[in-house]
Structure 1
């Protein structure tokens, strides 16, 4: 399976500009013949909790059809981040698009204490299957939460995938956690981070991929780029 991690800088609150950037990076991933492209946490709006309520998407938002149609026409799966409103609740979500399938959503189950004022957690399965590969999803803080990781052995996953928005210190903690996960469970582990300003912090980039031996096989710097990994 060929996977692209899209390390981008989102413009806070500018959904139209962010939509265009997503489609540009998805086209690059399609041209590189990747099977799946993954974006950072809340990538469509930027990680801006104070703005999230006014920027929230619904499950039936017409703008999401851009990615649904692109996925089907170009035979590529897409995972991106957005704030999603369900009734009166606001969630941090990952929208997952597969060719000729309905849109699926993963909802962040474990929120950082700073997020609880803005978002609600939602219990749901963190396992997705794409091209017969079982993938364990984590959104940012969940990489550090033992309760999110405890069932990895029984879940029999093929690899671990994290979508985050982290500054330098947070990214170091996440990288250490990723190494622990890979080493303990003998699985590849991938993480895509954002760059630029978000929620008053500077996000650090350094998206990376580890093989099943917890060895770093690829890593980005702190610029916008596409990290492409071939997982056997």
Structure 2
């Protein structure tokens, strides 16, 4: 029997290069808009708090308790929402690419990207993964970009009983069809819905494809952004199936 999932939102953002304060403020506005529509979780793209900027990552890297993240922690508590976003995280060596999950109880869970793209090791260290999230009884497994290129990653999420595989991505137009095909195939193979949050604008020299999407447990597209630009996708699954729509973003 399928488990109810959501409501949750996929946030496709246009990032201000290296400006954590500006990006945090936009996250809070989008989180409020999603919460106003009933979302209990919002998924943002890879490195959405800084942009994908390997050359700047060491200087932008932060700790989980960085004061600049306080508005995200407060928003999660105020709106009763899980807010999942990306930043370079300080470590003993090069920073790690992290997905930081701000929870309604004021705590933060950390997932670090396990698999790096070729060349990323010049700026980042591989991470250790992290715990699944709970969304009103549904288990949400996180992934960050290159993680999805390794079949053992979604396979492990399925073995652990994930009800949703949530991937924070940076995907260019050139790479979109390949990555979307992988995610569709994982959804179908593991009977595990897959959500993808992609950047909506250029970052780190890459022209992002946008087209953030959700595929159901059959690998069928439930909803997708039409292209680039900022947007919010809202989705949920209940006994009647999937329900999804694009919602307005704040000015």
Matches for 1:11-50 after TM superposition, within 5 Å:
11-50=16-55
What's the RMSD between the two structures over aligned residues? 1.3
Name the CA distance, whole Å, in 2 between partners of 1:132 and 1:176. Answer: 28
For structure 1, which segment, 38-47 or 126-135, has the greater mean C-alpha deviation from structure 2 after superposition? 126-135
Per the normalisation by structure 2, the TM-score is 0.88
* Residues 49 and 33 of structure 1: CA distance in aligned 2, closer, same or farther (over 3 Å): same
1:206 has 2:211 as partner: yes
Distance between the aligned counterparts of 1:72 and 1:20, measured in 2?
16
Q: Which moved more, 1:125-134 or 1:188-197?
A: 125-134
Q: Secondary structure at the match of 2:187?
A: helix
| Distance in 2 (alpha carbons) for counterparts of 1:37 and 1:228 | 9
Tell me, in whole angstroms, the C-alpha distance in 1 between the residues paired with 2:91 and 2:135: 25
Cα offsets for 1:26-66 (capped at 9, x unmatched): 11111111110111000000111111111111122112221
CA distance in 1 between counterparts of 2:69 and 2:19 reads: 15
Q: Indicate if the aligned counterparts of 1:152 and 1:185 stay in contact, CA closer than 8 A.
A: no
**What SS does structure 2 have at the residue aligned with 1:151?**
helix
Question: Aligned partners of 1:130 and 1:2: how far apart in 2?
Answer: 9
1:38-117 map, 5 Å: 38-117=43-122
- SS class of match (1:63): helix
DSSP 3-state at the match of 1:116: helix
Structure 1 residue runs of 5 or longer lacking an equivalent are: none
Kindly provide the CA deviation profile for residues 189-216 of structure 1, in whole angstroms up to 9, marking residues without a partner as x.
1101002221211011000111111110
Q: Which residue of 2 aligns with 1:224?
A: 230
TM-score normalized with structure 1 length: 0.95
CA distance, structure 2, for counterparts of residue 105 and residue 130 of structure 1: 16
Match of residue 152, structure 2, among 144, 147, 150: 147
Count of paired positions: 232
Unaligned runs of 5+ in 2: 1-5, 239-251
Matches within 5 A, 1:168-179: 168-179=173-184
Task: Show the counterpart of 2:248.
Answer: none
Give, in whole Å, the separation in 1 of the partners of 2:27 and 2:147: 24
Structure 1 residue matching 2:46: 3-state secondary structure: coil
In 2, the alpha carbon distance for the partners of 1:12 and 1:180 equals 33
Contact 1:126/1:138 (8 A) holds in 2: no
Distance 1:101 1:130, change over 3 A: farther
CA distance in 1, matches of 2:56, 2:145: 18
Q: Report the alpha carbon displacement of residue 126 of structure 1 after superposing the two structures with TM.
A: 5.2
